[in-house]
Each structure stands twice: as structure tokens, then as C-alpha cells.
Chain A
């Protein structure tokens, strides 16, 4: 018996989505003869020249009467290998709410594009929402290949265009399948019409895609749902939200902080199990008699979630009857906890088509997505949504109507400023022996930044001045080990490195940073932070042309990027935004790294 795959689809009849799903269902025998006969009859009555498979699940009278799909439709089919649940939603922007709902539990998202039209706004929006909801597998089906003469070149164009866009998203597994849903090419069986396509059929991919390790198997989390009491029995029932629990594990119960040991784990019906992992529903017994109740969370002593009342989150607003504004109060449901919350602030509203952040926005209405800060009455025990879809998600409920009004994805605890008071120290900057500053070298990979930085650090230290090199690659082994290469992660990488540099500079050290830091806005934020702290910031642009960098290519990265093995590589398929007003600009004609370092030091001594 196979595993379960939950997939989300979005779109309309124009993309051929209904035809595609109909074909998957019919070819896997999940569509029954009486259903098909009913659909054919109704389609004929309406004068449609093909069976409109949307009629199968447009189950509500209003949907049939208006010929539109309003709600999330669930469709089920199975092959000998796997069972599938499709959460199918309409694709227009006014159904963002439904797409978010359908995507919330999906393992994989299917995005369709018409080969003639290519990547359009709607396909980008669907991909973005899939990524926002933490779906790790995305399949772009390039449909209607028959109408573009089965063109390999057309497919490649669409693939490249979509890949460029997807680099801004957090989708680790991206697959492209050229299909014709109408004729069945590459849907269930591989076609002979596109001999150049070396991949598998769509269904084969859906059967094979590995999703079992998508869940978080690292951070053990068991939100206590229900306390089971029997004669000489006390067990904590819940659904494992992360990690693996085993009898004998030393655990801590939050928020109380009491520790104990797991004495037994039971599956439904009582069978003892050796380990429990997501999404198993289990009953856990502890060696000690503790006061544990619904809303508490069991985890490992050395790996705890955030515990706090201030949460930074992305939310999607789900109702047309009200808007989200600062000061509004709701009930927040998070894991098995339910408490009151107030919206502290709306940071920005996100345009789901362009990903533009509108920081002037102060409210969110139906279908809008934005970043907010929330203050809860009781503490929440949470992880970031990116790390854990269960302990990182919440809903907001309007107490006046009892309606679910928002879906939330936690970014993290609200960081400083707002409610952390700066502690004045007894030592001022003038009391220190040396004055610090930050030298920030930016440029393409293999531009020579690090060679110059190493030389600058060496000569400063040799001259008796405290200096410390912060190398981007090295930091990714530790401080920034949890970050990838999406735009958001790059921004965070730069922010953290900037903060560390600032601390060093404040301590009287010359922080020498060597970091590609490709985006101007990210670097400018670091500069602004230094200025605000009264610390000098020297931006050094290592302006080596890409041809030169590529010819050097010491780690073979450019070659791999050109071959398509890695994506999102600065200069190849991700932009590098040159500084407009760097304090120092170094070009290859300036000489070797030692000479360049001399120029930087000359600027510092100025």
C-alpha cells in the first residue's frame, strides 16, 4: 500500500486544468461511468463541445448556475503506487483565499501554463503562494504543447523564464513537464511526440516524488491535545508536529519547564511503538507525575521552540466583512493553544503578482497578504513556519462572528526595538584603546574580494591595530548555516553579517567584511545601521568584470551555473547591483591584491 500525496492545483478552464485533472482521474479509473455520463449530458445541454469536468466537483448549486468554481474542491484518486488528494482551487486573484486554504496542507503544487502564452501573472502568483505556504515541490506543466508544434525551444524558453522567477522563492524542488492534457501526452504515459524530453510523465513523477522527509524530523515537538486518564493511566495525546520521539527520551514540558523521561508511546488503540514521528497521532506517557494539560508542548531539553507573546508573521486576510488594522483584537488558534491577540502593527502589504512590498499600507483586506506583528495574551510556543508548518502556523478568529478571518505563517519572534530596552554600558567608545570601523568589500564571486580582505586584515594586525575578517563563505558554516540563496535569505545573510561587523566596530575593531552582497538595498541598510550607531562604514567595490571572474572560476561555480546545475548564481542568473557611491573602487588594472589592499588602507589613513 502506498503513501499519500496531497497536491494543490489552481487555475481555470483556459489553462486546460480541468482537462488535465479529468485525464488523471479517468486514466486512473477514479472517475466513474455514472459521473462521466452526467457530465457529458450537462455539457451537451449547455452547448459545450467537450465534457466540462469542472461539473464533477462544482457541487454547489450556485457554482453550477454561475458556471464558476467558488470553493476548494477535493478530488481523490489512487494508483497501485500511491493515493492522491487534490485540493483544486479557482485561479483568479479574487480566490487567493481559497488557494491559500488548498495549499496549506499540500506536499506539492501543480502550476499550469499554456505553451502559447508562456508564464503569465497568474502562474507567477500560484508559484509564489505555493512557496509562501511552504510547499517544497513544484511542478510546472507546460500544457498545449501540441499547439506549438511540440517545440523543444518553446519549452526551454518557458522553463528558463519560470526558473528566473522561481529563484526569488523558496522552492527547493522544481520540475518541468511538457504535456498535452487534451491528447494525453506525458500525463499518464510518456509521449513519442517529444523525443527530446528526457523526463518522466507527470503521473510517474507524482508517484515517485519523495515527500516523507519534507516534514521536520529534527525538532521534536508534541503539542498536547488531550489528556487521557484511566485507571493507573495518564497519557498525553497529540499529533507529533516535528522530530522523532522515543521511549527513554529526556523531555521538557513547556511552558512550565518541568523535565521528565518518556516512559512509553502508544499508537491509536494502545499498541506500544518504538518511535513516533509526524504526523502520527500518539499518546505519550511520562515517567514523572507532572501537571500537563492541553496547550502545553513536549520537546527535547536541548531543542526548544520560541516561547513568547510577540510574533512577527505573514498573514493572508480571508474575509470581505472586515479588514485587519493595528489595534484589532482576535482569538489566535495556534497548535492546541487558543488565546487572545492584538495586532500591533502592519509592516507592509505584499503585491502577490510583483512581490512588491508596500510599506505605506496599514491594513489588509480580503485576499491581501502582508507582514504583521502580533501580541498575544498568553505565551505561544512556536517555530518559524519555514522550519515547521505545524508549530509555525496559526489562524485568527473574529470573536464577534466566530469566523476564521486570517491564516498566519510565523516568521519569528518580534525582534528588538519595539519592546527591548537598550542597556547603557559603563564603558563608552572614547574609553576604548582603539576606534573601530567596518570595511565592506562587495563584488562578484571570484572578483578577488577575499584576497584583498585577507591582505587588509594581515597588514592592520601587523601594524598593531585590532582587525577581524568576516568572510561570507565562512560565516555560512556557522552563524548563517540556516540560510539559503533566495532573495530573502541573502538579505538576512547581509543583515546578520552587518550586525556582527557593527558589534566588532563598536568594540574598537576594524571589521573587514568580504561578502558578495549583491543587492544594493541590503548593503544600504547596513550602512544606515552604522550611521545610526555613529560608526564609520567604508564600502569597497571590487569591480572585476564578469568575464574575468568567470575565467578565474577557482571553485568551478560559474561552469556549474552555466550548465544549469545551480540556480540563483550572482552574475549568471541572479542580478548584481553595483554600488552607486562606494568609497573605494578597485579594478583589475589597479594591480595585484596587495596593491589593492594598499589603496584600501590609504583610504582608512586619510
Chain B
């Protein structure tokens, strides 16, 4: 036999993710896929659609909307779900603020990031979702590095990192009682570079924010933040124009950008391959709260 039966590492990662999507679709009643328009969720949705070809995606997508969105991202979100013919469920943080379930932070550094947890859990409960796909990757952050692909959440939506189910081979244990649910992370083993190589190879469209563009920004805590209608400048903070791109896209008030000239997927791949700073370290003010910032939020039910 002369043929070599080898898969490239991207096809291997894709196969693993496809297996996970099919496993969930076959064994859960009401799965949902978290879709923010960020690159990881775009890749996740792309792989999911491929997993069920030629049938349509057998579950809806959910956007937890902080109300502080980049306009380009919302436009991209709507266009993408239309193109794929998937059902979009939007859960609004504003609704929880209006109903008094959460209280909005005040001051110049106010962010709705943490409030999303309440909105997300409310949506899960209202719709009875029992499996929630998230685009989190283990290379992103050290609390995520220890999380399972199938991550159990109790009836309060909480994660118990000390009591996780062992996960062996490709046998995933999704058993749960009514009211509990499983967060599922099909891209667990992908790195930022894998995501970009896949975007390049598959020619996946992203919101334009991910590529170098000129926009007004200001500096805060050593990071560049976009100057949008949602932020209040503190004393001494001055907006200026810069050529930037976003490495992650989340709530507009706490997602930083980096100076960059990378305007195509190829250029971004090259930039990432040579960068020496992690994507969250460079761009996420929310992760800088404390060393255990992510772990604490995840325990409460965060993404």
C-alpha cells in the first residue's frame, strides 16, 4: 500500500469539532449555538453548517446582546444568519436592566460585560436549552485550559471546576437532569493561529473590524479602545486616529484593538505567527480584573 492516510492538523481539528456537533445533535433535545459575530463563533458556525450538510443546521443560534455592539458586527450577524437560513434568538441585556434584574455599572469604566451572565442564563432557562455551544478555546485563558469539551452546568448555570467529569477518548458524557445543561466547546483544541489559518483556507467572511482599518481610538490601562458612542472618556484620555485591527470582538466598551497593517487573512496569519503577546492579554480589559477573573465569572455561568 503506497497511499498515506494522513490528515492535516486543521482537518483533524475540524473532524473533531464535526464529531462533537453531531454527537450533541443526536443526543440533546434543544441545543443552541452562541453566535456573537466574533471570529471564533463565526468559525464554529461554519464548521457546524458543514457537519450537517446538506441538511440545514438542526438548532438555532443565540446572541447575547449587550446593546454596546459595533455596528459592523450586528450587520454581519444578521447577514450571516440570513445566508445560512438559521434561526436567530437575541437575548438583550437591556431587558434585564429594564426589569431590574441587574443594575448597570456606572462611571467611565462601566461595562455590561459581566451583566451578560444573567441574560444568558435567563435565555437558557426560557427556551429550555440543554446544550449550549460556545467558541471558547483552551489556549485563550488558563481557567479555560482546564475545562472539558462537554462542561456540566448545574441548575443555577454554575461551573464547578473541582468536580468536572473525566473526559476520555471521544466519548462525551452529556447526561444531565432537567434544568441542568451542558456547555459544549467544539473548538477547545484550536489555537488563535489555527482559527486564522482555517479562516484563510476556507475563505470565511468576518466582520471588517478584524482587518486593519483607521478609526478613532484612545488609550486606557495600556490598551487601545475604540472611541464609540458607548464610552465616556476619563480625564486625560484623548481620542486619536490610528491604523488598527481587533484580535477579539466583544462588548465595545472593553474590547481593545492593536495597531496593525494586516488587511488580509494571509497577513493576519503572518502577524499572529510572529506576535509575542496573547490575544486576551492584548485586548481584553475584562480579563485583567484579577488573576482568577475568568474562573470566577465562569463559575457564575459566564460563557
Q: Distance (Å) between the CB of A33 and the closest chain B CB?
A: 5
Known: A239-B15, A394-B171. A34 touches B142 (CB 8 A): no
User: Which of B18-26, B104-112, B240-248 lies on the face that meets chain A?
Assistant: B18-26
> Within 8 Å of chain A (Cβ to Cβ): is B235?
no
State A71–B143 Cα separation when bound (angstroms): 11
Q: Do B165 and A404 touch (CB < 8 A)? A: yes
Asked whether any CB of chain A lies closer than 8 Å to the CB of B264, the reply is: no
With a CB–CB cut-off of 8 A, which chain B residues contact A83? 9, 194
B53 & A270 in contact (Cβ 8 Å cutoff): yes
The answer on a CB contact under 8 Å between B51 and A402 is no
Contact residues of B between 22 and 77, Cβ < 8 Å to A:
22-23, 25-26, 47, 49-55
Report the minimal beta-carbon distance from B277 to chain A, rounded to whole angstroms.
Answer: 5
List chain A residues, Cβ under 8 A from B276. Answer: 29, 32-33
What 1/0 mask marks residues of chain A from 62 to 85 whose CB sits below 8 Å from any chain B CB? 101000001111111010001101
**Which residues does chain A contribute within 8 Å of B55, judged by CB atoms?**
228-230, 233
State whether B177 touches A402 (Cβ < 8 A).
yes
Residues of B within 8 A of A318 (CB): 166
CB within 8 Å of B: which of A172-226?
212-213, 215, 217, 225-226
A-chain residues with CB within 8 Å of residue B177 when the two chains form the complex = 402
Interface membership of B14, Cβ < 8 A:
yes
**Could you say which of A274-282, A439-447, A535-543 contacts chain B?**
A274-282
Complex contact B53–A390 (CB within 8 A): no
B189 interfacial contact with A, CB 8 Å: yes
Contact of A59 among B4, B23, B143 (CB under 8 A): B143
Q: Name which residue of chain A comes closest to B163, CB basis.
A: A403
Smallest beta-carbon distance A23→chain B, Å: 16
Q: Is the CB of A279 within 8 A of B7?
A: yes
Q: Smallest distance from the beta carbon of B72 to chain A beta carbons, Å?
A: 26
A74 CB contact (under 8 Å) in B10, B53, B189, B277: B189
Chain B residues whose CB sits within 8 angstroms of the CB of A239 once the complex forms:
15, 18-19, 170
| Bound Cα distance A389, B173 (Å) | 18
Stretch at the interface among A98-106, A117-125, A149-157, A414-422: A98-106
A96 to chain B, nearest CB (A): 11
Q: From the candidates B5, B13, B53, B194, name the one contacting A269 in the complex (CB within 8 A).
A: B53
Q: State whether the Cβ of A294 lies closer than 8 Å to any Cβ in chain B.
A: yes
Within 8 A of B (CB), among A368-419: 389-390, 393-395, 397, 402-404, 407
1/0 contact string of B174-209 vs chain A (CB within 8 Å) = 011100000000001101011001000000000000
Check A112 for interface membership: any CB of B closer than 8 A: no
- Asked if A333 meets B277 with Cβ closer than 8 Å, knowing A3-B8, A237-B51, A280-B15, the reply is no
B145 touches A101 (CB 8 A): no
Q: Are A1 and B142 in contact (CB under 8 A)?
A: no
Which residue of B is nearest A269, CB measured? Answer: B50
**Residues A60 and B161 in contact in the complex (CB < 8 Å), given A32-B277, A333-B171, A390-B170:** yes
Instruction: Give Cα distance in the complex from A275 to B146, angstroms.
Output: 36
Q: Contacts A57-B145, A61-B292, A266-B53 known; A331 to B168 CB distance under 8 Å?
A: no
Select the residue from A281, A334, A390, A395 with max chain B CB neighbours within 10 A.
Answer: A281
Residues of A within 8 A of B12 (CB): 3-4, 279
Interface flag for B215 (CB, 8 Å): no
Do A72 and B146 touch (CB < 8 A)?
A: yes
Which residues on B sit within 8 Å (CB–CB) of A71?
146, 161, 164
B50 in contact with A268 (CB, 8 Å): yes
Interface size of A by CB at 8 A reads 75
In the complex, A514 has a CB within 8 A of chain B: no
Given A100-B168, A402-B176, check contact A76 B191 (CB 8 Å).
yes
Q: Which residue of B lies closest to A394 (CB)?
A: B171
Establish whether residues B26 and A226, one from each chain, have CB atoms under 8 Å apart when the complex forms: yes
Annotate B274-293 by CB proximity to A: 1 below 8 A, 0 otherwise: 01111001100000000110
Query: Is residue A244 contacting chain B, with contact meaning CB distance below 8 A?
Result: yes
Q: Contacts A4-B9, A74-B145, A336-B26: A34 and B50 contacting too (C-beta < 8 A)?
A: no
Give the nearest-CB partner of B167 in chain A: A101
Q: Which of A34, A97, A104, A404 contacts B278 (CB 8 A)?
A: A34
Q: Is A281 touching B169 in the complex (CB atoms < 8 A)?
A: no
Indicate if B98 sits at the interface (CB-CB under 8 A). no
Which residues of A sit under 8 angstroms from B277, Cβ to Cβ?
A: 32-34
How far, in whole Å, are A405 and B193 apart by their CA atoms in the complex?
Answer: 35
Q: Which residue of B lies closest to A233 (CB)?
A: B54
The reply to whether the CB of B139 lies closer than 8 angstroms to some CB of chain A is yes
Tell me, in angstroms, the Cα distance from A526 to B5 when the chains sit together: 43
B162 close to A (CB within 8 Å): yes
Shortest beta-carbon distance, B292 to chain A, in Å?
5
Contact A212 B5 (CB under 8 A): yes
* B138 touches A (CB below 8 Å): yes
Given A269-B50, A336-B26, A402-B173 in contact, is the A34-B281 Cβ separation under 8 Å?
A: yes
A545 at the interface (CB under 8 A from B): no
Task: Write out the residue numbers on chain A whose beta carbons fall within 8 Å of the beta carbon of B166.
Answer: 97-98, 101, 318, 395, 404, 407
B295 within 8 A of A: yes
Instruction: Give Cα A145 to B7, complex, Å.
Output: 37
Instruction: Say if the beta carbon of A598 comes within 8 Å of chain B.
Output: no
Which interface residue of B10, B11, B51, B171 has the most chain A CB atoms within 10 A? B171
CB distance from A344 to the nearest CB of B (A): 22
Chain B residues with CB below 8 A from A82, complex form:
9
Given contacts A59-B145, A281-B18, contact A333 B173 (CB under 8 A): yes
CB contacts (< 8 Å) of B26 on chain A: these are 225-226, 294, 336
Closest to A101 in B: B166
Complex Cα gap A545–B281 (Å)? 70
A454 and B145 CA atoms in complex are apart in Å by: 64
Give the shortest distance, in Å, between A386 (CB) and chain B (any CB): 15
Chain B neighbourhood of A237, CB < 8 A: 22, 51-52
Interface centre among B5, B49, B139, B291 (most CB of A within 10 A): B5
B141 within 8 Å of A (CB atoms): yes
- Chain B residue at minimal CB-CB distance from A42: B291
User: Which A residues are CB-close (under 8 A) to B14?
Assistant: 268, 281
Chain A proximity of B103: nearest CB distance (Å): 26
Q: In this assembly, does A2 line the interface, its C-beta being within 8 Å of a C-beta of chain B? A: yes
5 A-B pairs with least C-beta separation: A59-B142, A268-B50, A34-B281, A281-B18, A269-B50
A→B interface (CB under 8 Å): 1-4, 29, 32-35, 56-62, 64, 70-76, 78, 82-83, 85, 97-98, 100-101, 104-105, 212-213, 215, 217, 225-226, 228-230, 233, 237-239, 244, 266, 268-270, 275, 277-281, 283, 294, 318, 331, 333-334, 336, 389-390, 393-395, 397, 402-404, 407
Chain B residues at the A interface, C-beta cutoff of 8 Å: 3-16, 18-19, 22-23, 25-26, 47, 49-55, 138-139, 141-146, 152, 161-162, 164-171, 173, 175-177, 188-189, 191, 193-194, 197, 275-278, 281-282, 291-292, 295
Not counting A74-B145, A228-B54, A407-B166, a sample of 6 additional A-B residue pairs whose C-beta atoms are within 8 angstroms of each other reads: A4-B12, A70-B162, A101-B167, A225-B26, A239-B18, A281-B51
